Amino acid sequence: MSRFPVENIRNFSIVAHVDHGKSTLADRLLELTGTIDKTKNNKQVLDKLQVERERGITVKAQTASLFYNCEGKQYLLNLIDTPGHVDFSYEVSRSLSACQGVLLVVDANEGIQAQTVANFFLAFEAQLSVIPVINKIDLKNADPERVENQIEKVFDIPSDECIKISAKLGTNVESVLQAIIERIPPPKVHRKNPLRALVFDSTFDQYRGVIANVALFDGVVSKGDKIVSAHTQKTYEVNEVGVLNPNEQPTHKLYAGQVGYLIAGMKDVTEAQIGDTLCLHKQPMEPLPGFKSAKPMVFAGMYPLDQSEYNNLKSAIEKLTLNDSSVTVHRDSSLALGAGWRLGFLGLLHMEVFNQRLEQEYNASVILTTPTVPYKAVLSSSKLIKARRAVQKNMIFIDQNRVMLKYLFPLNEIVVDFYDSLKSLSSGYASFDYEDAGYQTAELVKMDILLNGNTVEELVTVVHKDKAHSIGKAICERLKDSLPRQLFEIAIQAAIGSKIIARETVKAYRKNVLAKCYGGDITRKMKLLKRQAEGKKKLRKIGNVEVPKDAFIKVLKTQSSK
């Protein structure tokens, strides 16, 4: 790695709106630099996770070091491919801390979209060089000139700086490599200073422990060095350093300005915090600024399907959150579902992907409860909080056909089906991005679900006053379908305070006490029926409804998929 002086290094990221072609461009760059062989099978090579391949989207940023010869000089290009969906923008902002420039990929047909704008500003605020790349010029409806004008108008980047390519066919991709070398500055680092390495991502390997992705800002790190974590103050010996090419390739050393991985016998997932600084044990340094912690937007309870799986699930969640540090975890417990956790996610897709990764990568089976958003409640006797609807904040015309609208929404109104409705209403043209605007007052009510008068804690929800009736009714109906009949009648009720807003009844299971009673002795029949009625009365009085666990699961599963 010493062959690469700082001035021959470029660290860059590819950012774009979802599906505009980042991963395809990454494939071509890997091929052009000989990092991977050119075959027809190279499709999203950096999307390594099963969930990414199944869904065709990137959810994790991935790093690859490329070696490129240009005018007799050998360059080291460190590429970080990032996700495009709004739920994973935290991955983008972290990746940018290891870069000096970005390729901003824009689809030649769709033009600038919500995440294009959001990613541009992330890069702009981090003072990175932005190279606009207009992709998919091979499409029949491509209109690269229109997109150039949009880029000039919205981002103030002269249109002659745009590079027009087809990542799929490989057209003009070579000029992207040229632009990376000419327009992105080398990192500003000092190799003579003592080591400072920023941990910007990490994964857990069952055999080797934590594998930390590091960007070196100062100094050199070699195999055998004694290092210390600024976060935990624990010391370690470096077992292996290397670059991702795109698979791990050990090297003797890593120098300031380079990006690679480091394994130092960290066996516990809490030891390698993302945002931590690693220094030499003998020369501790001031830590580098870490990362703004992610702010979860959607919360859901997670429980093992079987309580005996609790410890396995705990360790799976710990390992996965090491790789996805934007998920928050708090212990929780429920009478029906046992011990579990309350997890915070950046959005619904993020929640689904996390769940799917747990199943696929850790073989875990979990119950995920209805997602909710956080509320701040001021409890008064009327429990009532004033409502506010969406308020328009801003409207900017990007060109004749495109407008950017800014609204203030209650989060609960947009997390579940807003994006789908927006897409279908606009025939897929509108795109959407959001950020937290703080708490607002709203007319919310706490809705209880009662079984024969007893509150079912697991089904208590906070809903908007106007929607309480329909949601309450739907839950009661679903519970009715999932509860087995018992010897006594079960009243299922949805209530706000003491007011009942919906009700369903599960009829008592009537045992045929007359089955063995042949003939017509009416007094004997009456006696048996009277005894049965008394038995039922007794049961109803002391009746504590037995709810089988899978009834909860059914109700919670249907609720969360709604």
Ligand X SMILES: Nc1nc2c(ncn2[C@@H]2O[C@H](COP(=O)(O)OP(=O)(O)OP(=O)(O)O)[C@@H](O)[C@H]2O)c(=O)[nH]1
Binding-site sequence positions for GTP:
16-23, 81-85, 135-138
- Site for ligand X (CB under 6 A): which residue of 11, 15, 21, 66? 21
In terms of C-beta density within 10 A (0-12 exposed, 13-18 middle, 19 or more buried), how is residue 399 classed?
Answer: middle
Nearest distance, CB of residue 141 and ligand X, angstroms? 10
Between 23 and 370, whose beta carbon lies closer to ligand X? 23
Residue 19 engages ligand X in binding (rule: CB under 6 A): yes
Do the Cβ atoms of 157 and 133 come closer than 8 Å? no
Other Cβ atoms less than 10 A from the Cβ of 3: the count is 9
d(C-alpha 128, C-alpha 97), whole Å = 10
Name which position in 1, 9, 18, 316 contacts ligand X (CB under 6 A).
18
Q: At what angle do helices 468-482 and 549-561 cross, to 10 degrees?
A: 140
Cα of first residue to Cα of last residue in the chain, in angstroms, is: 53
CA dist., res. 523 & res. 500, Å (int): 42
- Quick one: 139 or 487, whose CB is closer to ligand X? 139
- Does 16 help bind ligand X (rule: CB under 6 A)? yes
Instruction: Rule CB under 6 A: choose which of 35, 95, 166, 326 binds ligand X.
Output: 166
Which one, of 35, 62, 48, lies nearest residue 177 by Cα? 35
Which residue in the set 33, 35, 44, 93 belongs to the binding site for ligand X (CB under 6 A)?
Answer: 44
| CA–CA distance, 152 with 158 (Å, rounded to integer) | 5
Stretch that binds ligand X, among 131-139, 192-200, 228-236, 247-255 (CB under 6 A): 131-139
Give least dist CB 36 to ligand X, A: 15
From 30, 45, 51, 57, residue interacting with ligand X (rule: CB under 6 A): 57
Nearest position to ligand X, beta carbon: 84
20 binds ligand X, rule: CB under 6 A: yes
Closest CA to 272 of 341, 330, 342, 200: 200
Nearest to 472 by CA among 489, 482, 481, 460: 460
Q: Hey, how many other C-beta atoms are within 10 angstroms of the C-beta on 352? A: 18
Based on the shown chain and the rule CB under 6 A, indicate whether residue 135 belongs to the binding site for ligand X: yes
The yes or no reply on residue 536 touching ligand X (CB under 6 A) is no
Report which of 299, 324, 304 is spatially closest to residue 314, judged by C-alpha positions. Answer: 304
83 binds ligand X (CB under 6 A): yes
* Span near ligand X by CB under 6 A; candidates 2-10, 15-23, 189-197, 242-250: 15-23
Of 84, 186, 275, 290, which one interacts with ligand X (CB under 6 A)?
84
187 binds ligand X (CB under 6 A): no
The least distance separating ligand X from the CB of residue 182, rounded to whole angstroms, comes to: 23
Q: How far is Cα 523 from Cα 407, in angstroms, rounded to an integer?
A: 74
Please report whether residue 493 would count as binding ligand X according to CB under 6 A.
no
Cβ proximity to ligand X, 95 vs 560, nearer residue: 95
Which residues contact ligand X by CB under 6 A?
A: 16, 18-24, 44, 57-58, 83-84, 135-136, 138-139, 166-168
